[in-house]
A and B are shown apart, each in its own frame.
Chain A
Amino acid sequence: MGPQSKVRRKPQVMARELAEGEGGVLLHLESGSYHGVNPVGLVIWELLEDERSVADLVNAVRDRVEDPPPELESDVMDFLTGVEARDLLIVAE
């Protein structure tokens, strides 16, 4: 997966936001696998509704997050790698 890879979340995955500041939870409706995400992870997940390139995604996250860290791009990539490994993501190279 690289900056120009197209990514979007799998439609079979349901997300719900928890109380403010607590992030959210994801449930794969077919497999039943369950995952917790922190508030930034929830922002990334929301932005994955529509297919977009990883580079576009990083820029969109940067616009949404207060005081984005310098390593934002690698953090986003780590998140995407993690959700892909959990069968939550569609990646088109």
Chain B
Amino acid sequence: MRRETFSSWLSNSSWLNNLTTSFFLTNAQTIGTCFGFAVRSSLPFYYLRSGDGEPLDVSAPSCIDDGDVGELLIEWAPTPQSPFEGRLFKKATRLFLQMGGAGWFVIDTEESSITLPEQADLVRREERLWSLPATLCFLARGDLPLHAAAVEVDGDALVIGAPRTFGKTTLAAGFVNAGYRLLSEDITCLRIASDTLAIPGPAMLRVRPDVAERMEIKHATQLGETDDRVHFALEEDARGDGRPVPVRAVVLLRESDDGFRLESAPSTEVVRDLWPLTFGLPTEHDRARAFAGLVDLARFVPISNLYRPRRFEDLAATVEYLVDAF
């Protein structure tokens, strides 16, 4: 057998050099953005937007021994209001998050990386990535998470806050169908300042099965269905990029039996009602920062209660009412 020297083997293997270069490029290049992060990964993604941001390396699989995850910071138990179940641990600079039966997410906010568990359902795995793991990263960055949807109207963001199952995703779907851009569906990332900004999240929409039966979700492709949600990804030309959008207003959804009305509320009530929408944050420092952020949000952005009929037939009228109001 002819024995080639190392250098001749390399010079005869330019295809290997190209493959090696492209391999590193694939691992290092940005494939899309979400929540202000430029995602660098070789994994498949379904919900990213175009544009740039702070690098976030996403890889899989995570390999964890239960005894090697450090100190328990917080445990979430499911409640009627929130089915979320999870435990968060900290060891050195890394956070170890166990979400239900989904396995371990390893989050390093200093290195800006998230390692995902091995999971057959890649769509569901990405949805979990953009929930608490990504929230922990943008919280560390100084941004505020809010359990809210956000849509873009005439270049500004309208943030729609409500507890789970109170209709914010359905209303967001109504905006999408009316041709407005969805910025976030369940978690809104806010950068609080005198010019508060909403940072676009995943381009996904997960509506209740009864809603999906009654309305065709335009500008979106169905990816799958679980017991309580039908999962859609916005089509590419409906996603836009990840640039922050100025927040024009926040509305908190209320129910009404007699038409529509927007009412301002005293700031003490507004902060009280927004506080449960900030999640069970793991440390006192996080809670203090979120609280300060909420108070500042109430100072910088108009926040109103929207009383509206909570009937499916009134969805288009609700969208129209809000667009006219803001």
The smallest C-beta distance from B245 to any residue of chain A, in angstroms, reads 24
The smallest C-beta distance from B266 to any residue of chain A, in angstroms, reads 7
- Residues of chain B with a CB closer than 8 A to A32's CB: 287
Considering the chains assembled together, what is the distance between the CA atoms of A30 and B283 in angstroms?
9
The total of Cβ contacts below 8 Å across the A-B interface reads 43
| Contact residues, A20-72 vs B (CB, 8 A) | 22-23, 25, 27, 29-30, 32, 34, 36
Q: Which of A14, A30, A36 contacts B268 (CB 8 A)?
A: A36
A92 within 8 A of B: no
Given contacts A30-B284, A34-B275, contact A16 B291 (CB under 8 A): yes
B299 within 8 A of A: yes
B102 within 8 A of A: no
For this complex, into which size category does the number of interface residues on chain A fall? 10 to 19
The smallest C-beta distance from B114 to any residue of chain A, in angstroms, reads 27
Considering the chains assembled together, what is the distance between the CA atoms of A29 and B284 in angstroms?
6
For this complex, into which size category does the number of interface residues on chain B fall? 10 to 19
Q: Which of B284, B287, B295 contacts A25 (CB 8 A)?
A: B295
- Residues of chain B with a CB closer than 8 A to A27's CB: 275, 287-288, 291
Given contacts A25-B295, A34-B275, contact A18 B268 (CB under 8 A): yes
Given contacts A34-B272, A36-B268, contact A18 B284 (CB under 8 A): no
Are the CB atoms of B266 and A14 closer together than 8 Å?
Answer: no
Are the CB atoms of B292 and A16 closer together than 8 Å?
Answer: yes
- Residues of chain B with a CB closer than 8 A to A29's CB: 284, 287-288, 291
Considering the chains assembled together, what is the distance between the CA atoms of A23 and B269 in angstroms?
12
A85 within 8 A of B: no
B271 within 8 A of A: yes
- Residues of chain A with a CB closer than 8 A to B291's CB: 14, 16, 25, 27, 29
Considering the chains assembled together, what is the distance between the CA atoms of A5 and B295 in angstroms?
33
Residues in chain B within 8 A of chain A (CB atoms): 266-269, 271-272, 275, 284, 287-288, 291-292, 295, 298-299
